[in-house]
Amino acid sequence: MLSPNPVVKLEPSSLYISTTQIFARLGAFHWIIYVTDADGKASTYQWSEQGGTPGLEAEGVDIQELHPVTTYSSTNNLTLAFFKITGFDPATPSDKIRQAALAAFPDRGYPSVRENRQNNLTCRTWALKVLRILMDGGWLVRNDIPEVIEDIVKKRSMEVEGNLESFTESVVVDI
């Protein structure tokens, strides 16, 4: 019998990008970076709404430990896929990943989500900047650029979303 919320097995000492459905917006996805430690426990890094005081940054970096990793989030969002980003150095210290996550948008965004979008500050562009920072620092070694990863992630996520009638658990793909 299938679990109502299957656990997703991510490889230890690895870097992933996940895509989660955005309600009522086909082809639009929330991007989250997952980094697993040597024991396979994940930390998530994401650019997301912060709630909070009007007039301050509407969005920011959210970092959390997550175990286990499941197909549905604690808020019942469906994670379509996890993309293992090959070329990640497993010896990368967690503080380097944290620094990259915090440095991707150094100005910390605008007071509203709308202003962030008008200035191309999204979870996707944030994740791609984090990958670029890791590449520039030698923590991620690949023969392509983040935009190639972006194209693969978007295309494959749309394929999974287009086949939800047969969906049973998140897809895990190496790229």
Instruction: Give the per-residue pLDDT at 51.
Output: 73
140-171 residue pLDDT tens? 999 999 999 999 999 999 999 999 888 989 99
- % residues pLDDT > 90 (the chain): 73
Stretch 56-63: mean pLDDT: 86
> In this model, does residue 1 exceed pLDDT 50?
no
- Give me the phi and psi of 140, to 5 degrees please: -135, 115
Q: How far apart are CA 50 and CA 9, in angstroms?
A: 29
Q: Worst-scoring range by mean pLDDT, 20-29, 57-66, 72-81? A: 20-29
Instruction: Give the per-residue pLDDT at 25.
Output: 80
Whether a cis peptide bond, with omega within 30° of 0, leads into 68 is yes
Q: What is the CA radius of gyration of the chain?
A: 16
Instruction: Give the per-residue pLDDT at 103.
Output: 96
Q: List the domain boundaries for the chain.
A: 15-174
Q: Where are the beta strands (DSSP E) in 22-165?
A: 29-36, 42-49, 59-66, 79-84
